Chains A and B, each alone.
Chain A
C-alpha cells in the first residue's frame, strides 16, 4: 500500500506548481475571445520560383515585419504557418482595411524610361487616362455626395460611343451587363497596362532606396512621396534621367505593374541627369495613401506576391460574450458531471470529482506554460476532454462494483478494477489521440486549437484518471472509517458474505 502513496506529495507539488504557473503566466486568449483582427496571407509562387519554401517565407516575413513596425500597431504578432502562409494578429483592431492594404501589395517600385518612337501613342494614352480618371473621380464624388444628401451635377462626361470605341481599340472584353463605371475601370486598367508596355525594362527599382518620406504639395491638398537612393541608386537615376532629358520621352514610375506617375525630364538635365540621390513621386496621393506607400517602400518590396486569403474580425464585446458563454459552458459541464459521478458512484465518485478538478487545474497550467492560445474551438476541446477524462473513471468504478458484487474485499476490488479497466482506457485514449494527430497535421488554425487542447486533455487524463484517482482512493482507504463497501455501492447489491 505504501508504494502507492509516493504519488501524494507529487500530486500536491504539481497542484501548487500549477497554481503558481497560472498566477505568474496568465492564459493567452485568442482573438475570438478578446476581440481583434486576424489576417492570413498566402505567399504565391511567381517567376522562377514554383513552390514556396521556408526561405522565401522568411524573406517575405522580414519585409512584412518591417511594414507592420511602420504601421505602428501595438501588440501585433506575425507568425509563419506551414510552408506558405503568414498569420497576422492585430488585437483590438476592428478595421483591418489599412493593414490589409499595406501588407497585401508587393510594392515593387520601378523607374523605367519610355521606349524611343512611342511618343505619339503615349500622348494619346495619357489623354485617355486623364479623361477616364476625371470621370471616375467625379462619379465617386457624386456617389459620396448622394450618400450625404448633397446634389452634385456631373461636369466631365465621356460619350458612350467613345467609351465603346476606346474599349474595342484596346482589346478589352466587356462582360455583358456591366455598368458604365465598371467599363471605365476596365478601360483604366487596360490603359495603364498599355502605358507600362511602352517603357523599357526597369534599371532602377525600390531595392536601391535608403529611405522614403512624404510631403504635402505647396499648391493643393495632394501629397508627394519623397525617395532617397543609395549611391548605386543615385547613379542609376542620374543615368536614367540623362538618357531621356530634353526628349519627349517620359520617365515612368511603376508600382506593382501599374503606372502611377509619368514625368518629363527637362533639357537642363542633359549634361549629368538628375543628381543628388533623391526624387519625389507626384502621384496625386491623399495623405493616407502617401503614408501607406511610404511604409511599404521603407519596408522594401516583397520577394514574392502575397494574397489575403482569410480575414476574421471580432468586436471586443463579442469576445467578452464568448468568454462568458464558454466559461459558463465549461463550469456547467463540470458541475453536471460532478453531480452525476457523486450520485452514481458515491465515495469514489467524490474522489473522481476531486481528480477532475485537479485535471482542470493541470490543463489550464499547461495552457499557460506551453503556451496554448485559447480559442473557442480550443475551449470546446477542453470541455469535451472533461467528459472523456471521466469516462476512464466510469470504466474503473464499474469494474470495482463488479468485483465487490462478486464478493471480493474492498482493497482487492479497487486494485482489480484499476488493472482490468486499463486496456479499454488505453485503447480509448490512443484512438482519441490518433484523431487529434490527424486534425493537427492537416487542419487549419481553428481546427488546430481544438486538436491541441483535446490532445493535452487526453494525455493528462491518463495521468489524473489513473494515478490521481487511485492515489486519492488509496489515501482515503487508509482510514478505517472510510473502508466501507456501502460507500461504493448500495448495500442491497452486496453479497451477504462481504459486508
Chain B
C-alpha cells in the first residue's frame, strides 16, 4: 500500500482529549459499579428475593397465565384480591399420586384498566391451569380465549435453565477472552475484559435495582442479553485498540496517554455511531416489540450504551497505567 498523508504531515492534534477527563470517567464508572454491587447485594439480602437478581418464571418454575377480558368499550372494575381469593378457594382436579398444589400464594395482577390479568401460580398441569382459568372467568366475566397464554415451567427445567444460562455466560466470556488474548497483546486483552466485566456488572446492577424497586424479574432472555452485550462490548473496545496498534509506529514518539488521545479522538465518531446504529433497531423493539421482548430489548440497550461508554471512557484511559513504554 502506498503511504498515505498522515505520515508526512505533522500529527493532527486531537480536538477531544479523553485523558483530561479520565478522573471524571473513572469516578463515574466506579460509582456506577459500586451502585450496581450495592443493588445486587441488597437483592441478595432481601428475603423476598434471596438472589442477586429477582429470578423470573424461567428459573423458579411455576405457571404464568395471561388472560384478556372480553368487554366492549370499558371493562368493569376488577379487584385483584377478589380474584385471588376465588383461586385460593379452588379445588383442582387431582393428578394420580400427587397432592394438588397450594394456590393460596397466587399473585394476581390486573393490567390495562382491568382489561387483562396476569396470574402467577405454582407449577400446574394443563388440566389444572384450565380449571384456574374457569375460576377466573366466573369472577371476571367472559374472557377472550384466543388471547390467552399459559406458560408452565417445571422445577427441573427451571434448574436446568438457570444452570444452562450460567454455564453459557461463563463459557462465552472465557471464549471471548481466549480469542482477544490470541488476537491482541495481554494488556489490551486484559483491559477489554475489564470493560466486559464493567458493562455486564452495570447491566446486572440496573436490573437488580429494577427488581428491588419495580419488581422486574430476569429470565433466560436476560442471560442472552448479557452474553450478547459481552460480545458487543469487546467489539467496541477493540475498535479503539485497533487504532492504537495501527498508529503505533507513527506515534511512537508520544507518551501513551497522548497516543490514546489521538486514537480515541479518531475513533470517537465511529464508536458513537456504531452504538447508535445498534441502538436504533432496539428502540424500535422497545417501542413496538410487545411485552415479551420489552425488558430483553431494554437490557440490550443498557448494555450497549454502557459498552459504548466504557470503550471510550474506561478502556483507553486505563491503558497508560498498564503499558510500559
- Chain A positions within 8 Å of B, measured between CB atoms, are 32, 35, 37, 40, 42, 94-97, 99-101, 105, 140, 143, 147, 178, 181-182, 185-186, 189, 256, 258, 307-318, 321-322, 325-326, 328-337, 340-341, 344, 376-377, 380, 383-384, 386-388, 390-391, 394-395, 398, 402-403, 406-408, 412, 416, 419-420, 423-424, 427-428, 430-432, 434-435, 437-439, 441-444, 446-447, 450-451, 454
Q: A435–B270 contact, CB under 8 A? A: no
- Counting chain B CB atoms within 10 Å of each CB, the highest count among A32, A185, A313, A335 belongs to A313
Which of the residues B130, B157, B231, B276 comes within 8 Å of A435, measured between beta carbons?
A: B231
Bound form: Cα–Cα A322–B288 in Å: 10
Instruction: Tell me if A407 and B5 are in contact (CB < 8 A).
Output: yes
Instruction: Name A's interface SS.
Output: helix
Mask, B287-321, CB within 8 Å of A = 1, is: 11110110011001000000000000000000000
> Do A329 and B285 contact each other (CB < 8 Å), given the known contacts A32-B292, A185-B94?
yes
Contacts of A435 in B (CB 8 A): 172, 176, 227-228, 230-231
Q: Which chain B residues border A315 with CB–CB below 8 Å?
A: 144-149
Residue pair B127, A100 in contact (C-beta under 8 Å): yes
Closest beta carbon of chain A to B248's beta carbon, Å: 14
Chain B residues near A416 (CB-CB < 8 A) = 1, 4
Binary A-proximity of B256-296 (CB < 8 A = 1, otherwise 0): 00000000001101100110111111111101111011001
Residues of B within 8 A of A398 (CB): 267, 269-270, 273
- Would A387 and B277 count as touching, CB distance under 8 A? yes
Per the bound structure, the CA–CA distance linking A390 and B97 in Å amounts to: 57
**Residue B187 CB within 8 A of the other chain:** no
A446 touches B220 (CB 8 A): yes
Check A383/B282 contact, CB under 8 A, given A315-B148, A443-B164, A446-B220: yes
A452 → chain B, closest Cβ, in Å?
A: 12
A333 lies within 8 A of B300 (CB) = no
Verify if B232 is at the interface (C-beta below 8 Å from A): yes
With both beta carbons as reference points, the residue of chain B lying nearest to A255 in the complex is identified as: B96
* Chain B residues with CB below 8 A from A454, complex form: 228
Is the pair B4, A309 in contact by a Cβ cutoff of 8 Å? no
The answer to whether B277 touches A337 (Cβ under 8 A) is: yes
Interface SS of B by simple majority: helix
Residue B39 lies at the interface, judged by CB distance under 8 Å to chain A: no
Do residues A428 and B127 form an inter-chain contact, with CB atoms below 8 A? Answer: no
A309 touches B283 (CB 8 A): no
Q: List which B129-159 residues lie within 8 A (CB) of chain A.
A: 129-130, 138, 144-154, 156-157
Question: A317 with B153: in contact, given A380-B297, A384-B278, A443-B220 (CB under 8 Å)?
Answer: no
Provide a sorted-by-A list of 25 A–B residue pairs whose CB atoms are within 8 angstroms: A42-B154, A94-B146, A97-B125, A143-B91, A181-B91, A309-B157, A310-B152, A313-B149, A318-B66, A330-B281, A334-B281, A377-B221, A383-B282, A387-B277, A391-B235, A398-B270, A408-B4, A416-B4, A428-B238, A431-B232, A431-B238, A432-B228, A434-B175, A437-B175, A444-B157
CA distance A309 to B284 in the complex (A): 34
Select which of A256, A308, A444 is within 8 A of B220 by beta carbon: A444
Give residues of chain B (5-48) contacting chain A, Cβ–Cβ below 8 Å. Answer: 5-6, 9
List of A residues within 8 angstroms of B284 by Cβ: 328-336, 383
Decide if A424 touches B239 in the complex (CB within 8 Å). Answer: yes
Q: Which residues of B contact A412 (CB under 8 A)?
A: 2
Q: Please, which residues of chain A bring their CB within 8 A of the CB of B148?
A: 94, 313, 315, 318
Question: A143-B91, A185-B94 known; A431 and B4 CB under 8 Å?
Answer: no
Q: Contact: B270 with A395, CB < 8 Å?
A: yes
7 tightest A-B CB contacts, nearest first: A333-B281, A333-B284, A387-B278, A438-B172, A428-B235, A435-B231, A309-B154
Is the CB–CB distance between B127 and A97 below 8 Å? yes
Contact B270 A439 (CB under 8 A): no
* In contact, B288 and A332 (Cβ under 8 angstroms): yes
The answer to whether A344 and B292 touch across the interface, beta carbons within 8 angstroms, is no
* A493 CB, nearest partner CB in chain B, Å: 12
Asked if A438 contacts B227 (CB within 8 A), the reply is: yes
B168 contacts chain A at the CB level, 8 A cutoff:
yes
**Which of A143, A256, A435 counts the most B-chain CB atoms under 10 A from its CB?**
A435
Are B232 and A432 closer than 8 Å at their CB atoms? yes
Known: A312-B152, A383-B285. 18 other contacts (CB 8 A): A42-B156, A100-B126, A258-B97, A310-B153, A315-B146, A326-B290, A332-B284, A336-B280, A340-B280, A391-B274, A394-B270, A398-B270, A407-B5, A430-B179, A434-B172, A434-B231, A444-B161, A450-B224
Instruction: Check B152 against A439 for contact (C-beta < 8 Å).
Output: no
A427 to chain B, nearest CB (A): 5
B146: which of A309, A318, A325, A394 is its contact (CB, 8 Å)? Answer: A318
Q: With a CB–CB cut-off of 8 A, which chain B residues contact A431?
A: 176, 179-180, 231-232, 234-235, 238
Q: How distant is the Cα of A441 from the Cα of B174 in the complex, in angstroms?
A: 15
Whole-angstrom CA separation of A386 from B34 in the bound complex: 34
Whether A322 lies near B292 (C-beta < 8 A) is yes
Q: How far is the CA of A71 from the CA of B147 in the complex (A)?
A: 25
Docked pose: A390 CA to B274 CA in angstroms: 8
Q: Please name the residue on chain B nearest to A323 by beta carbon.
A: B290
Chain B residues with CB under 8 Å of A143's CB are 91
What is the CB-to-nearest-CB distance from A31 to chain B, in angstroms, rounded to a whole number? 10
Task: Tell me whether B4 and A403 are in contact (CB under 8 A).
Answer: yes
Whether B231 lies near A427 (C-beta < 8 A) is no
* Chain A residues, Cβ within 8 Å of B246: 420
Given A329-B288, A430-B179, A447 contacting B220 (CB threshold 8 A): yes
A438-B168 contact in complex given A311-B151, A317-B147, A446-B220, C-beta closer than 8 Å: yes
Asked whether, in the complex, the Cβ of B168 is within 8 Å of the Cβ of A441, the reply is yes
Distance between A329 CB and nearest chain B CB, rounded to angstroms: 4
* Contact partners of B150 in chain A: CB under 8 A: 311-313
What is the bound-complex CA distance between A140 and B156, given in angstroms? Answer: 31
- Contacting residues, chain A, for B100 (C-beta < 8 A): 182
Which residues on the A side are within 8 Å of B224 (C-beta)? Answer: 377, 439, 443, 447, 450-451
Contact with A along B86-98 (1 / 0, CB 8 A): 0000010010110
Q: Which of B147, B266, B269, B281 is within 8 Å of A386, CB to CB?
A: B281
For B151, the chain A residues whose CB sits under 8 A away are 311-313
Contact A317 B175 (CB under 8 A): no
A428 to B5, CA, bound (A): 28
B96, B239, B283, B292: which contacts A336 (Cβ < 8 A)? B283
Are B91 and A377 within 8 A (Cβ)? no
The verdict on B111 contacting chain A, using a C-beta distance below 8 Å, is: no
A430–B238 alpha-carbon span in the complex (Å): 12
In the complex, the answer to whether B146 meets A316 with C-beta atoms within 8 Å is yes
Contacts of B4 in A (CB 8 A): 403, 406, 408, 416
In the assembled complex, B77 has its CB within 8 A of some CB on chain A? no
Residue in chain B with minimal CB distance to A328: B288
Are B290 and A434 in contact, CB atoms less than 8 angstroms apart? no
Does B228 contact A384, Cβ atoms closer than 8 Å?
yes
Chain A residues positioned under 8 Å from B270 (CB to CB): 394-395, 398
Q: Counting CB contacts under 8 A, is B171 at the interface?
A: yes
